[in-house]
Structure 1
Amino acid sequence: MLGFFFMAILWACLGTIAGVTTWSASAEQVKSGMLDINNGIFEQGPELWGVTAVIIIFGSWFGRVLIDTGIARSIIRAAVELGGDKPAVTCILLSLVTGLIFTSAYGAGSVVAIGVIIFPILLALGISRSLATAAYLMSVGAGLYLNSGWLSQFGALIPEFDRATATWRTFGFIAFGLQMAATFLMILVVSATGNKTRAWPERVGAQGEQGNVNPLAMLTPLIPVALSVFCGVKPITAILIAVAFALLMTGHYKKWNDTAILLQKTFHDGVMDVALVFAFLFFLQMFLRAAKICAPLLAPILEPVMPGSLFALFIGFGLLSVLALFRGPLTVWGAGAATLALFQAVGGIFTPQVLFPLFMVPSTTVNGSICPTQSWCLWAIGYTKTSLKEYFLTCLPFCLVVALILEVVAYFMFAV
């Protein structure tokens, strides 16, 4: 957050020296392409993030509704019962449940609240700490490809890209399926060869403290995605319908005061869950607006070394997707924000249609799914007390392969 803020100041100052930014631009200067530092960077940067922020809030709220109504707990319990005494099967089922939940739920708070239910189960069944952590986080990341909060957050960086097209929806389902398949394969391989652990067995009983909800209520996580993708319903409207369905199916609608208290609490907790995410994104927007106005100045230097083949570019991003770790140059949630700004400045073949999937894959499959600098990943690694070395040995090879495959798929779907 602070890094992006100071980089925004630096780029704004460099732009002033180059004559493309000024503290307070006149109407004529704005028309000529000059950026107003006072209003255009530090004011409009966060302001223009407003629509995205609202969608993220509603997604985070929905995650809290799933948890506080007992729906998430019931789905998890059903998966455990279905898996029986086969740890790997149970882990696969819980991973699938997690992936489906996070196609609509959003926010670190939801990841934590569901994780504290799932992790004791997996560890008590003998799943190793590193595998339990990796499987859970990769499943969360898979759901992000269809998550309206995550997509809106990413889309604000490349607003020219239309995420409502059938092509993108198809790619989202392919990405979700491939990452989930890689997660299942990882579980089977590591379970057959890795070490097992026994921990927290007494906490498994906590899953029985509340009764199961109506089976129909377990469909709630799928409603926002289904309505948005197949019926064209807007994300917030879809979430409101899903919340109403959840209240109806779980009986939380019977008393007005109880309903009001539940909605107040979940909305409050949902906003709190994403508060620091907003701070990070607001300062990121300041940096991006300053960087984009200055990036064309570097175009004459960069154009000769930019790849001329889009296929080579997608393959390169796939092979080097490890650089999305630790906020590196291939994730837009880190140094990759500057990389994106440079590609946008050069233009030409680097259209929004190309740049959106190109950067989405490493930013989601690597950074959003397994990077320790991602808030929910950091929490999970600390909660399970897993070794970072074992964690990366477990998940990194599978994530890198998924990223490479998805970049190839993205090339043929968006760049050909």
Structure 2
Amino acid sequence: MLTIAGIVIVFIVMALLMFLRVIPALIALPLMAFFIALIGGIPLDDILVYVIGEGAFRLHQAYTITIFGGMLSIFMQKSGIAESFIRKGAELAGDNPFYVSLIILILTSILFTTLGGLGAIVMVGTIVLPIMSSVGISPGIIAGVFLIGLSIGGILNAQNWALYINILNVQFETVRTFALYLFFVSLAVAIAFIIVELKRDRIIKSFKFILNFKFLLTLALLIAFFLIFLTLGKVERLFPDNLKNIFKLIGEILLILFLSYLFIKFIFNAISPSHLGQLRWYALLTPIVPLVIVFALGSKYFIFAFVAGLFYGFITTFRKGSLNLLMQSIIEGGSSVIPAVALMIGIGMLLNAILGPSGWGHGEWKVYAQLKPLFKAIVPSSPVLYVAVFSLLSPLALYRGPLNVWGLGYGIATLISSPVGTLPPASVMGLLLSVGQIQGVCDPTNTHNVWIANELKIDVNQILRKTFPYMWSLATVGLIISAMMFL
């Protein structure tokens, strides 16, 4: 009992230190891993070798994918793809506040399936914030639309999927399916946020615009995509294996043709390069390339997807100095994600401290053996309790709380998922992805929230008050979906 109490105290102390911003998560997680293993009775030599040493490599796949994602993110910023993507799309919305908000939301979501980091947020924000402000939208709504767009993009971001797959050993198809459900729910909540808040500010006088052809067409397309997604898995099972092999062969042929096209286009662009600042329309497809490849080919192609996106962008924007730009993007892209990589290293150490290193062959890991009975007893396992308890606790994702994935979140996830806890790993993935929407949009300690509030000259807690009811509702719906799918 004393050992368990000591481990719990370490968790609480580290959580408080992070909450009070005395120490960052980058330092707190390795310290937590060390002291949990020490209190759990692990010999010092094993802590240094298996917790600190091997733990640093535990999530190597996830942070390697993150590094390649960072390269593509920086290239899209430096080449002007991200800026042109936003500006071209915003031109379609005209000066109608609702359509400007909706277009910005969708474009931001698409961009941040690939982009990441504060630099990308600042770059996109300096474009979209003035655009929304120019049509009379209030700062609180502007912040909400932009942040919800960032969060929706994060749901489909392959770098985030890699973390869940690596940490919780969840199948790629499971993450993809749940993420798509949550994506459509998030989109519905975001549209509700725009309509309700614009009506509350009297920017929208009535709901007659809902009968507008543009809105009805957009809604019909979203519903169509959702229905296609719902039936896709069922229809696939109806095809015999021979027909599936034919489809696979067709896909490989199309991929070869696509790569051949890129090579020819590269030769053409090398002979007749584009002028600076004049990007061709097909260059704007760059952020979608990795997403399509991952969806079509699966988790084995995460790194290839980002490499393909990087070279697609390089070829379609080729001009004088493009090779230097590519080299800068590769170098700066790697350095831009170092904070995230360092955090993943700490998470890997914490996982090894709790579960033991992979392939541990010296008997049962003591920390795991002592914590297992406790968490099997206290973690809610029924669908109703799962939704009720974690919906009430979802605000703990704020202020670097225990459900914040960039704080203690993955450590808690390890403890409550089987084999330590009683919850299936997929349900823990659903839990973190759902409550993570509260953290991504509402948390006043997020650096991007602070930057956005400063740009719009509002208090960062105003963003929290404006968006929290919507994000809490979204988290609860996500938990319900997770319970229906996994419990």
The aligned amino acid for 2:390 is F
Cα displacement string for residues 195-249 of structure 1 (whole angstroms, at most 9, x for unaligned residues): 88xxxxxxxxxxxxx7452112222211111111023470221122222222222
Alpha carbons 1:318, 1:405 under 8 Å: kept: no
Aligned sequence identity (%): 26
Q: Following the alignment from structure 1 to structure 2, what is the Cα–Cα distance between the partners of residues 108 and 195? A: 32
Q: State the SS of the aligned residue for 1:8.
A: helix
Aligned match for 1:276, one of 325, 339, 348: 339
**Residues 301 and 53 (structure 1), Cα distance of their counterparts in 2 relative to 1, 3 Å cut:** closer
Q: Following the alignment from structure 2 to structure 1, what is the Cα–Cα distance between the partners of residues 47 and 353? A: 8
**Residues 76 and 13 (structure 1), Cα distance of their counterparts in 2 relative to 1, 3 Å cut:** same
Query: Are 1:398 and 2:470 matched, yes or no?
Result: yes
Query: Are 1:53 and 2:63 matched, yes or no?
Result: yes
- Report how many aligned residue pairs link the two structures: 380
Alpha carbons 1:106, 1:149 under 8 Å: kept: no
Cα displacement string for residues 62-100 of structure 1 (whole angstroms, at most 9, x for unaligned residues): 112222222211221122211111123112101100101
What's the offset of the Cα at 1:131? 1.6
The aligned amino acid for 1:181 is A
Alignment of structure 1 residues 146-295 onto 2, 5 Å: 146-158=156-168, 160-163=169-172, 165=173, 167-194=174-201, 211-232=277-298, 234-252=301-319, 255=320, 258-293=321-356, 294-295=367-368
Q: Following the alignment from structure 2 to structure 1, what is the Cα–Cα distance between the partners of residues 182 and 109? A: 12
Alpha carbons 2:57, 2:348 under 8 Å: kept: no
Q: Following the alignment from structure 1 to structure 2, what is the Cα–Cα distance between the partners of residues 342 and 324? A: 16
Alpha carbons 1:76, 1:94 under 8 Å: kept: yes
Alpha carbons 2:415, 2:421 under 8 Å: kept: no
Q: Which residue of 2 aligns with 1:88?
A: 98
Cα displacement string for residues 132-158 of structure 1 (whole angstroms, at most 9, x for unaligned residues): 122111111111121111121333321
Q: Following the alignment from structure 2 to structure 1, what is the Cα–Cα distance between the partners of residues 304 and 372? A: 42
- For the aligned residues, what is the CA RMSD? 2.4
Query: Are 1:387 and 2:459 matched, yes or no?
Result: yes
Q: Which residue of 1 aligns with 2:110?
A: 100
Cα displacement string for residues 299-327 of structure 1 (whole angstroms, at most 9, x for unaligned residues): 33443333241342134223431121112
Query: Are 1:43 and 2:53 matched, yes or no?
Result: yes
Cα displacement string for residues 346-386 of structure 1 (whole angstroms, at most 9, x for unaligned residues): 646422232222222212x1123332333333333333332
Alpha carbons 1:91, 1:122 under 8 Å: kept: yes
Structure 1 window deviating more from structure 2 (149-158 vs 80-89): it is 149-158
**Residues 408 and 268 (structure 1), Cα distance of their counterparts in 2 relative to 1, 3 Å cut:** same
Alpha carbons 2:33, 2:353 under 8 Å: kept: yes
Q: Which residue of 2 aligns with 1:205?
A: none
Question: Gaps (5+ residues) in structure 2?
Answer: 1-25, 204-275, 357-366
Q: Following the alignment from structure 1 to structure 2, what is the Cα–Cα distance between the partners of residues 154 and 312? A: 23
Question: Gaps (5+ residues) in structure 1?
Answer: 25-35, 197-209
Q: Which residue of 2 aligns with 1:27?
A: none
Alpha carbons 1:101, 1:143 under 8 Å: kept: yes
Q: State the SS of the aligned residue for 1:213.
A: coil
Q: Following the alignment from structure 1 to structure 2, what is the Cα–Cα distance between the partners of residues 77 and 223? A: 20
**Residues 305 and 248 (structure 1), Cα distance of their counterparts in 2 relative to 1, 3 Å cut:** closer
Q: Following the alignment from structure 1 to structure 2, what is the Cα–Cα distance between the partners of residues 296 and 92? A: 51
Aligned match for 1:118, one of 95, 118, 128: 128
Q: State the SS of the aligned residue for 2:40.
A: helix
The aligned amino acid for 1:292 is L
The aligned amino acid for 2:323 is A
Structure 1 window deviating more from structure 2 (73-82 vs 280-289): it is 280-289
Query: Are 1:359 and 2:432 matched, yes or no?
Result: yes
Aligned match for 1:339, one of 412, 415, 420: 412
Alpha carbons 1:227, 1:238 under 8 Å: kept: yes
Q: Which residue of 2 aligns with 1:11?
A: 36
